[in-house]
Amino acid sequence: MKLLRDILYKVAIRSVLGLTDRDISNIAYDSRKVQENNLFVAIKGTVNDGHQYIEKAIEKGAVAVVHEDALETNHKGVVYIQVDNSAKALALMASNYFDHPSHTLNLIGITGTNGKTTVASLLYDLFKVAGYKVGLISTVKISVHDQAYPATHTTPDSIVINHYLKLMNDVGVEFCFMEVSSHGIDQFRTEGLLFKGGIFTNLSHDHLDYHKTFAAYRDVKKSFFDQLPKTAFALINQDDKNGQIMVQNSNAKLYTYSLKNYSDYRVDILENQFKGLLLKINGSDIWTRLIGAFNAYNLAAIFGCADILGMESNEVLRLMSNLESVSGRFEFFVTDSNITVIIDYAHTPDALKNILLTINEIRTKNETLITVFGCGGDRDKTKRSKMGYIASALSDKVIFTSDNPRSEDPETIISEIEQGVEAQNYNKINSITNRDQALKTACQLATSKDIILVAGKGHETYQEIHGERTHFSDFEVTQNYLKQLQK
């Protein structure tokens, strides 16, 4: 229980009807989850408007309502608080309700188009092995030191974030590494959190279904760094042209990392193999199990962050050499018949290009590179043809298939992917709507020494079609078909 007046601390309030000197048992913005003595927050979402569910919330026991729009009816005994922005208010109230848990640990936010999950997850692994109590909030999972919880969003809602940060406080977590998505920033999910630092990985084409323009997408990312306090640090990718834009108005202390330009944390690739990378980081050599130039950037960010947070450089390098790839991020296995299968979450043009360039740089060209991928439904349509162009240009054979079509027709999505294929690459293409059959076909086409890249879903263990999720793992399906073919 917490007093309503304390929960409302620092919220921009227009008006209050009723007394705020009353106990609140919890906060909810989903009317289906409201219980007795709850505070209900009516948020205007992209699909639903919470104002339509105020009456239902009160019926279920809400004793206070936060809203933006003026209301026609008021219930006796219910406190009504009108605010400028309900989503922003929710984040501030969640922080207040859970006693500002971000203030008592070192919270590091990682944002960018690609690399967020890898950087956050490997920083968590690194600090945990180093002996610290650590937390993680990522696309793959949420971890409170040794306890793991399932993740549903890249950046959860503000109640979930503060709930887990409070659990981290309770067990003495010192550092928490958190993915910060553009949706999360734009929807104020990170409002009221105190970040010790922010890391910028890169910026490329994504989420234009939501942000409409690249400039809007970039500026949302930039706003995260705008809000960092003077006591925080900002670590940016110096090789990305948007890096300096991110920190134009930031008060945080600036650090940089790179592979090409001068920076505080400079990395050179000495060897790049399927077995791993040999790197030189600030003059010291390190062998790592991760693969590709994109992971060299991720490791530069990890090294820089650990150094800024006070870990001894040689110890960081020693621990980094034992880091393993994150689930669904360039995760690969080699069959008994010497077929290499790579599973990767690449679902943007830039990510797919980076994966394929890495494979082509390492391979001998005496084998066939077979790429299987699709594009998600109800998401940015403008990237589909671009990904079709990239896959067909950089692969020997390509199978276009379903990803998570959601409410869209999967065949329509595939036809939009096909529009990016140039005439000279038509003979490389095969389109198979059923993802299971697409993977089976790829396995049947592969012979000894060939490479199969399955992109788009990575760690996901489901496929979403017409709003229904069914179990589906690229790793499991591909591995099972290849085992059957070897018998």
Same domain, 354 and 423: yes
Confidence of residue 485 (pLDDT cuts 50, 70, 90): confident
For the stretch 372-404, pLDDT in tens is 999 999 988 999 999 999 999 999 999 999 999
Q: Which pLDDT score, from 0 to 100, does residue 59 have?
A: 96
Q: Which pLDDT score, from 0 to 100, does residue 436 have?
A: 97
Same domain, 108 and 240: yes
Same domain, 345 and 442: yes
Q: Which pLDDT score, from 0 to 100, does residue 212 have?
A: 64
d(CA 202, CA 180): 13
Same domain, 335 and 313: no
For the stretch 442-455, pLDDT in tens is 999 999 999 999 99
The residue range of the domain holding 51 is 2-97
CATH assignment at residue 93: 3.40.1390.10
Same domain, 342 and 423: yes
Same domain, 335 and 418: yes
Q: Which pLDDT score, from 0 to 100, does residue 487 have?
A: 64
Q: Which two tokens stand for residue 265?
A: 């944390």
For the stretch 47-105, pLDDT in tens is 789 999 999 999 999 999 999 999 988 999 999 999 999 999 999 999 999 999 999 99
Same domain, 348 and 478: yes
CATH assignment at residue 441: 3.90.190.20
Q: Which two tokens stand for residue 192?
A: 């009221």
Confidence of residue 213 (pLDDT cuts 50, 70, 90): confident
Same domain, 359 and 288: no
The verdict on residue 424 lying in a domain is yes
Q: Mean pLDDT lowest for which of 68-72, 114-118, 150-154, 475-479?
A: 150-154
CATH assignment at residue 148: 3.40.1190.10
Same domain, 86 and 120: no
The verdict on residue 352 lying in a domain is yes
| CA dihedral for 416, 417, 420, 423, sign (positive or negative) | negative
Q: Which pLDDT score, from 0 to 100, does residue 210 have?
A: 63
Same domain, 425 and 480: yes
17 to each of 67, 82, 337, how far by Cα in Å? 12, 9, 72
The verdict on residue 325 lying in a domain is no
Q: What are phi and psi of 464, to 5 degrees?
A: -105, 115
Q: Which pLDDT score, from 0 to 100, does residue 152 have?
A: 77
Residue located via tokens 């930039």: 222
Confidence of residue 207 (pLDDT cuts 50, 70, 90): low
Count up the domains in the chain and report the number. Answer: 3
Q: Which pLDDT score, from 0 to 100, does residue 211 have?
A: 55
The verdict on residue 326 lying in a domain is no
Angle CA 426–430–436, to nearest 5: 160
Of 320, 344, 377, the one marking the end of a domain is: 320
Same domain, 292 and 145: yes
Residue 474 clears pLDDT 80, i.e. is over it: yes
Of 36, 66, 97, the one marking the end of a domain is: 97
Confidence of residue 209 (pLDDT cuts 50, 70, 90): low
Same domain, 89 and 105: no
